[in-house]
Structure 1
């Protein structure tokens, strides 16, 4: 991924890698012995984590708990929600 991505590009990367993780997870539920798929899944999980961290470090948390610590005072989100933005800018 290039260094200076737009907000929509960062979010799209989170969505794409997250989707790939879910799909491969479903595949592995039925093919638990597929070592190659497990390796790809583990790589995708790392990519998803990196994509999520890149987005959250710049624009704030994507979920309400578990992935992003809060500054003091407690604040969940100050900007519009990610899905409330227009992503074609």
Structure 2
């Protein structure tokens, strides 16, 4: 896996973590406008990163697969990445 690909996956995971945490917080604090803005900002960032990743490396989810041949079978799956080996 290329370093740039691993970096994009890592960014997606970091932003995804923020989305899960802000979502959990908003479950108990639905009127917190600052938290809602933060969640919406990171939600947009996630969509942008996902779009960049999929344009360069193929689909991340089954809902993104619309082109044959299926690219994901030729590459390491996101959960198979060893990030320790990708960094120089």
**Runs of at least 5 residues in structure 2 that lack an aligned partner in the other structure:** none
**Runs of at least 5 residues in structure 1 that lack an aligned partner in the other structure:** none
TM, length-normalised to structure 2:
0.81
* Displacement over 4 Å in runs of 4+: none
> Per-residue displacement from partner, 1:10-37 (whole Å, max 9, x unpaired)?
0001000011001000000000000111
Q: Give the deviation of 1:63 after TM superposition.
A: 1.3
TM, length-normalised to structure 1:
0.80
Q: Give the Cα–Cα distance (whole angstroms) in 2 for the partners of residues 34 and 50 of structure 1.
A: 25
In the comparison of the two structures, how many residue pairs are matched? Answer: 82
**Equivalent of 2:12, from 11, 14, 25?**
14
